[in-house]
Chain A
Amino acid sequence: MDIAALLASEWAQLALYAVAGFVLLNVMLGIVTFLVLMERKVSGWMQVRLGPMEIGPWGILVTVADAIKLMTKQDVVPRHVDRFVFRLAPALIALPPLIAVSLVPFGKNLIFADTSVALLLVLALTSLTSMAILMAGWGSNNKYSLLGGVRSAAQDLSYEVALIFAALGPVMLAGSLSLQDIVKAQGGVWFVFLQPLGFILFLIAGIAELNRTPFDIPEAESEIVAGYHTEYSGMRFALFFMAEYANMFLVSCIVATLFLGGWQGPVLPGVLWFVLKVFAVIFVIMWVRWTFPRFRVDQLMTFGWKVLVPLGLLNILLTGGVMLLV
């Protein structure tokens, strides 16, 4: 058997991709674990208290303890749920962020799948999340869950429009939908300085897509029990939980890629810059969560359609106008 031919063959390529995919999956799970801890610690410090401190030194093993706890809980499937939909929803919500992370450029040559329509794919995958929430709300056979699910669906699709308009700015500036090309086009100046309005719009719409405070009406504890994931316990709930943090990581990656220059940066290696930017954005998202009260449903819809969408259109108009003149 010719070793060189074997290594260059298609089987080797596939195997390599499989191993890389496995590594990416595990890295994502590790990041989600860290993010849960980060949220609890940051929220604690912002409330003048320490977060978890007892489990592991300085509380670092808290997410592990949480995961073990959730895995050992009884899996309750209520009797009159729509069984297929109920069971499919947690799996469907956890997958899109894990898939979409493979499209994000982590470094100059560090991208899992460099397609020419990467941004479009990422936005399409985030739409899958809203569908999964609707499935969870409907499948739970519970009026509060249904309310949470449909409110979330309405919110997600409204802010999706605003998100896309805000994302069009960098696309126009870079001339391509490929995320790697957009990062490469920010070699001179990051797009956040050329598109401040777009940056703010994308960040706000992104937080709304994540169903995080102040846009967390679908899952707000004091309003609607736990909204669309009321009926889920144990590992199913853990999947919802994990999906929220994976989505947060994904949205932060896209913000860093589109506006903050991705892996561009002077002295340090690209990956390090990328990680710094992503975690800065994640910190800002958490900071916003622990500062503001939540929107009422009608305020939320008004804000999405009557404020963000016109501003998004204005952003596109201004960008196009300036590009034409300059």
Chain B
Amino acid sequence: MLLLRIRSLALSAYLLGDGMAVTLRYMFTKPVTLQYPHEMKRLPERTRGTLVLYADIERMKCKCTVCLVCEVVCPNNSIHIDFERDTVNKKKVLTKYYWDADKCIYCGLCVEGCGFDSLGWVPEFEISTTDRRKLVWDEKDMMQAWLTSIGRKDIDAKRVDNKWY
């Protein structure tokens, strides 16, 4: 009986030491912290960061054909489109494309619904401002966001590949 006691005591001492060894090993493992403003994670290309309109760069026009699918399919009406009919060939012409970045739930139904490849996602997520009115984007803002994202050399320099898994 006493032998059992001593053996269990020795076993528990060994196990306590084993636990402490685990913690010590963790202490010398490289930390997984990504220090955000100084280091940024490389996000996948299809990350739902910000909605953008792809622009025809030479003519600075978006490819939107005003089919209105994105406005209709949006679950909480974050997209509003103003258009007028071209008097000559009765086609719809875009005057204003409003996107509420603050109301949008970033579900992506509009991008999936667009049949003309004019709406898309970019991984840019730092779009917060201190003025709420600046969060309602028009088509110029959205095209500018796309142009900025393909040309953002400074973000690429900051993006650190922090694979630890």
A: residues with CB less than 8 A from B are: 42, 44-50, 53, 287-288, 290-292
Most chain-A Cβ atoms within 10 A of its Cβ — which of B19, B26, B32? B26
A41: shortest Cβ distance to chain B, in Å? 10
| Alpha-carbon separation in the docked complex, A316 to B26 (Å) | 38
Nearest CB in chain A: distance from B41 CB, A: 15
Point out residues on B near A: beta carbons under 8 Å: 16, 19-20, 22-24, 26-27, 29-33, 35
Nearest B residue to A288 via CB reads B20
Q: Is the CB of B19 within 8 A of A292?
A: yes
Q: Are B32 and A49 in contact (CB under 8 A)?
A: yes
List 6 A-B pairs, minimum CB-CB distance, nearest first.
A291-B23, A50-B33, A45-B27, A49-B33, A46-B27, A50-B31
Taking the closest CB of chain B, its distance from the CB of A259, in whole angstroms, is: 18
| Subset of 17 A-B contacts with CB under 8 Å | A42-B27, A46-B23, A46-B24, A46-B27, A47-B26, A48-B26, A48-B30, A48-B31, A48-B32, A49-B31, A50-B33, A50-B35, A53-B33, A287-B20, A290-B23, A291-B19, A292-B19
Main secondary structure of the interface of A (DSSP, over half): loop
**Bound CA–CA A187/B157 (angstroms):** 59
Known: A49-B31, A50-B35, A53-B33; 7 extra A-B contacts, CB below 8 A, are A44-B31, A45-B31, A49-B32, A53-B35, A290-B23, A291-B20, A292-B19
In the complex the two chains form, what is the Cα distance from A292 to B23 in whole Å?
Answer: 10
B19, B20, B27 — which one has the most chain A CB atoms within 10 A of its CB? Answer: B27
Give CA–CA (A50, B35) in the complex, Å. 9
Which residue on A lies nearest to B19, using beta carbons?
A291
Distance (Å) between the CB of B9 and the closest chain A CB? Answer: 9
Q: Which residues of B contact A49 (CB under 8 A)?
A: 31-33
Residues of A within 8 A of B33 (CB): 49-50, 53
Q: Which residues of B contact A288 (CB under 8 A)?
A: 20
Across-interface contacts of A290 in B (CB, < 8 A) = 23
Give the residues in chain A near B31, CB-CB below 8 Å: 44-45, 48-50
Q: Is the CB of A48 within 8 A of B23?
A: no
Partner of B23, one of A44, A50, A53, A287: A287
Task: Collect the chain A residues with CB atoms within 8 Å of residue B24's CB.
Answer: 46, 287
Complex formed: what's the CA distance from A48 to B29 in Å? 6
- Give the Cβ gap from B138 to chain A, nearest Cβ, in Å: 37
Residue of B nearest to A45 (CB): B27
Query: Inside 8 A of A42's CB, which chain B residues have their CB?
Result: 27
Min CB gap B158→A, angstroms: 17
Residues of A within 8 A of B26 (CB): 45-48
Q: How long is the Cα–Cα vector from A291 to B20 in the complex, in angstroms?
A: 6
Most buried by A among B23, B24, B33: B23
A253 vs chain B, min Cβ distance (A)? 22
Which of A42, A46, A50, A53 neighbours the largest number of chain B CB atoms within 10 Å of its CB?
A46
Closest chain B residue to A200 by CB distance? Answer: B13
List residues of chain A with CB within 8 A of the CB of B22.
Answer: 291
* Among A44, A49, A291, A292, residue most surrounded by chain B Cβ atoms (within 10 Å): A291
The CA-CA distance from A238 to B48 in the complex, in Å, is 44
Q: How far is the CA of A170 from the CA of B16 in the complex (A)?
A: 26
Q: In whole angstroms, what is the CA distance A48 to B22 when docked?
A: 11
Per the bound structure, the CA–CA distance linking A65 and B2 in Å amounts to: 55
Tell me, rounded to whole Å, the shortest Cβ–Cβ distance linking B139 to chain A. Answer: 39
B19 cross-chain contacts in A, Cβ below 8 A: 291-292
Minimum distance in angstroms from A155 CB to a CB of chain B: 20
Nearest Cβ in chain B — how far from A274, in angstroms? 24
Minimum Cβ distance to chain A for residue B22 (Å): 8
Complex: A204 Cα to B23 Cα, angstroms = 18
B33 to chain A: closest CB distance in Å?
A: 5
State the Cβ distance, A127 to closest chain B Cβ, in Å.
Answer: 28
A46 to B31, CA, bound (A): 9
CB distance from A205 to the nearest CB of B (A): 16
